[in-house]
Structure 1
Amino acid sequence: MRILDRYLAGAVIGGTLLTLAVLLPLLAFFLLADEMDHVGTHNYRFADAALFVTLSLPRYAYQVFPIATLIGALVGLGTLAGRSELVAMRAAGVSVGRIVLGAMLGGLLLAILAVAMGEALAPPAERHALTMRQAAKTGDTMQLTESGLWARDGDSFINIREVKPGAELRDISIYRVSGTELVSATHARAATYRDGMWMLEGIERSHVSAEGVRVERIDEAGWNSLLDPDLLKLIVAEPHALSVLGLYRYVRYMQQSEQDGDRYQVALWAKLVHPFLILAMIFVSTPILLGSARSSGLGVKIFFGIVIGIAFYLVSRSFAYFALLYGFDPALAALLPPLLFVAGALLLLRRAG
């Protein structure tokens, strides 16, 4: 049975990789076409757009992995069905459950690959892509480190320790230089974005000159900066640019500061469920193949797989929005769609078996 399991797993893995090899170039083409609208803005050139798309592909590959697995399983196992190999297996006494188990072993390896891509590769690549594009389009550079967000704004270097939702910053340091010499160092306790500019609060500013250092304290002052809230939100706290650990830490921070972190909880649970979703898609593909092995060709099965994949995407997104709008449990919103599809697949498998 081990040889049979490897054979079925290999068919699923090969079909999924083939599907990704078709889907990703198509995604890259559409992403690049969308980026062409921005080419020519400041220093943003075609090569920058191509690099941005390349760095964004791991995230998109991670997102489409479940649907690619569903189609890939239909392609791989459908090829076996087309050569009557699945029929021969069942005639030799191999149960439907054993065929499903062999296919799921391939899904397990694919799930591990997806987790590695979604945790180790996609988040840093996405952050670097966003930073690179912003630098090319505006001339400003930003960098996230353990000491917070570092950015350059003209002749100033900025360090922001906390970026909070609602256009609010905490613990801001602004270092203004002239050439290689420090001109002033400003520290602000907080900043809020109002009327198109930042308002700094609790300011302590040190002016550096040949005569010495002069310190002044100001309760509140305006600060004109190219760092607007939308940019900070994009770079710092977009859920798709965070790993599971990053989302968990951010959710904990939101809870400890008594803020609304539902959006990040939904994203966290979606990532936690993602590997099991890949296995669920393989499970769903099996009754499509076994239930219609004699009545339809591979093309029809793949069509049904695409329809099911689109339906699942719409249902899962709907549950995510319901969780945000109506306060549903994020874990339930993430788990219920795949459970419903697996339950439907079980019913179909009972009929096929």
Structure 2
Amino acid sequence: MSILDKYILKRYLVTLAVMLLLFIPISILAHLAEQIGKMQDNEAPLNEILVYFGNFTIYIGNELFPIFLFLSIIFFTSRLASNTEIIAILSSGVSYIRFLRPYLMGATIVAIVMLLMSMFLVPTASKGFNEFKYKYLKKGRENRQTENIFNQLNEHDFIYVSSFNPARQIGNNFTFERFNDDNTLDFKISASNIRWIEKDSIYRLTTYKKRKIVGDSSIIESKQRLDTIFNFRIDDLTPVSYVAETKNFIELNQFIEDQKRKGASNINTYILVKYKRWALPITAFILTVIAVAVSSVKRRGGMGVNLAFGILVAFVYIFFDRVFGTLAQQSGFSPLLAVLIPNIMFGLLAIYLLQKAKR
């Protein structure tokens, strides 16, 4: 590694670290000022609050990491340009592609860190962050599917409820069906509602009715109320919307396979989370190239113009990322395309700006 590589790579990593250390505490203080009243009203314990803000730091840092990366590169590269250091480097015979090499080395380091964090560390932080949020800050307001819920538990068992109340843990118009290996119905259980009794770890069925198929005849059993057990948890009826974010790499793949087998209607949401994790390293390289191409040219407006353009590009990127993400979650749009299209668009922009900067 040459002196040039060490010099730029050091500036790359140090500026990014300083950017994170400056803005994440500001985000924590702003969030604390906004939520402190709810924490006091709901009597959140101090130790849980401290753990929450530890998880919040990791969670928000991961969310804003690409933006901080982009702005930090623009900041220190604009400084190099304004001090005519880049002109001196290129005038000494160093090609623009060679000048770009330490930036790509830095992007590789950042991409590996981002990938490992998103696969293993961030899911744990996301779980703690969301559990605290819906326990103390948005009490009883977890985002779940609550209408026409259908789940395939395994190869033989199917359940259905017409509506589900997460706060009271009650499902209405409950149906449980078990099929034999030859796809013939073994028995069917129906009830006007199913309630989870947590203290006894049982399910309570109201207006219970069971129809058992025996040959060409049926055996009917009915009761006004029945306490029983099933091989599923009440949360399996309708997972919270953020459940995929709380799974590490191995757990997420297994979870997606389970949800596909169950015929989950919101499977695209989970697949989108998976693809976004893999896309993070690609994003690091694309944003690095765009930032260098924009800020390596000395401009009349100086660093301010470069930062303004950088902020504009960052918001446009976030806009397209959110738009295509929403399309994938709420329609039949492919989650893979929802992740690829913004990166392809900005990848082409990076190539164009790079060619322009070389000239």
Q: Is TM (by shorter chain) over 0.5? A: yes
Deviation at 1:52, TM superposition (A): 1.4
CA–CA distance in 2 between the matches of 1:138 and 1:345? 41
Q: Distance in 2 between matches of 1:69 and 1:138?
A: 31
How many angstroms apart in 2 are the aligned matches of 1:168 and 1:301? 52
Verify the 8 A CA contact 1:266 1:330 in the aligned structure 2: yes
Aligned pairs for 1:118-133 (under 5 A) are 118-131=118-131
Q: 2:274 corresponds to which residue?
A: 268
Is 1:319 the counterpart of 2:324? The answer is yes
1:284: which partner in 2? 290
**Deviation at residue 349 of structure 1 after TM alignment:** 1.9
Which residue does 1:259 correspond to in 2? 264
Corresponding residue for residue 298 of structure 2: 293
- Superposed CA deviations along residues 153-180 of structure 1, whole A, max 9, x for unmatched, are xxxxxxxxxx999667899xxxxxxxxx
Q: Would you say how many aligned residue pairs link Structure 1 and Structure 2?
A: 298
Distance 1:125 1:170 in 2: 30
Q: Residues 147 and 164 of structure 2 are in contact (CA less than 8 Å); yes or no, is this contact kept in structure 1?
A: no
* Distance in 2 (alpha carbons) for counterparts of 1:109 and 1:335: 22
Give the aligned partner of residue 98 of structure 1: 98
What's the offset of the Cα at 1:301?
1.3
1:148 corresponds in structure 2 to none
Unpaired runs of at least 5, structure 1: 141-162, 172-188, 204-215
SS at the partner of 1:7? Answer: helix
Q: Determine the C-alpha separation between the residues in 2 that align with 1:41 and 1:169.
A: 37
**For residues 108-147 of structure 1, what are the structure 2 equivalents within 5 Å?**
108-131=108-131
Query: What are the residue-to-residue correspondences of 1:300-315 with 2, within 5 Å?
Result: 300-315=305-320
| Contact 1:126–1:241 under 8 Å retained in 2 | yes
Q: Which residue identity does 1:64 align to in structure 2?
A: L
Shift of 1:105: 0.6
SS at match of 1:89: helix
Asked if the contact 1:9–1:107 (Cα under 8 Å) also holds between the matched residues in 2, the reply is no
Q: Give the secondary-structure state (helix, strand or coil) at the position aligned to 2:170.
A: strand
SS in 2 for 1:72: helix
1:328 aligns with 2:328: no
The structure-2 alpha-carbon separation of the partners of 1:197 and 1:251, relative to structure 1 and needing over 3 Å to count, comes to closer
Q: Which residue of structure 2 lines up, in the alignment, with residue 206 of structure 1?
A: none
Residues 166 and 58 (structure 1 numbering): CA distance in 2 closer, same or farther, change over 3 Å?
A: farther
Counting only pairs closer than 5 Å after superposition, residues 187-198 of structure 1 correspond to structure 2 as 192=161, 194=164, 197-198=169-170
Do 2:289 and 2:354's aligned partners in 1 also have CA atoms closer than 8 Å?
no
Q: Once the 2 structures are TM-superposed, how far is the Cα of residue 122 of structure 1 from its aligned partner?
A: 1.8
TM normalised by structure 1 equals 0.72
TM-score, scaled to structure 2: 0.71
Letter in 1 for 2:74: L
Q: Is the 8 A contact 2:35 2:137 kept in 1?
A: no
Taking the aligned partners of 1:313 and 1:245, their CA distance within structure 2 comes to 27
1:37-56 to structure 2, matched below 5 A, reads 37-45=37-45, 48-56=48-56
Answer whether contact 2:56 2:129 (CA < 8 A) is retained.
yes
In the alignment, the residues of structure 2 paired with residue 166 and residue 254 of structure 1 have an alpha-carbon distance, to the nearest angstrom, of: 16
How far did 1:327 drift? 2.0
Secondary structure (helix, strand or coil) at the match of 1:36 reads: helix
- Write the letter of the residue equivalent to 1:76: F
Bigger drift between 268-277 and 115-124 goes to 115-124
Shift of 1:99: 1.9
1:265-309 Cα distance to aligned partner (Å, 9 max, x none): 11111111011101111011011113x314231232122211111
Kindly report which structure 2 residues correspond to 1:17-32, keeping only aligned pairs within 5 A, or say none: 17-32=17-32
Q: 1:93 to 1:242 in 2, by over 3 A?
A: same
Output the CA distance in 2 between the equivalents of 1:5 and 1:116.
25
Superposed CA RMSD in Å reads: 3.7
SS in structure 1 of the partner of residue 40 of structure 2: coil
Larger CA deviation: 240-249 vs 51-60: 240-249
Note if contact 1:13-1:73 (Cα within 8 Å) is conserved in structure 2.
no
* 1:351 aligned residue: 356
Deviation at 1:134, TM superposition (A): 6.0
**Greater shift after overlay, 49-58 or 338-347?**
49-58
Give me the whole-angstrom Cα distance separating, in 1, the residues matched to 2:343 and 2:270. 20
Unaligned runs of 5+ in 2: 177-188, 195-203, 210-224, 228-232
Distance in 1, matches of 2:43 and 2:234, equals 20
Identify the residue that residue 57 of structure 1 maps to in structure 2: 57
CA displacement 1:202-232 (0-9 Å, x = unmatched)? 69xxxxxxxxxxxx99947589xxx996997
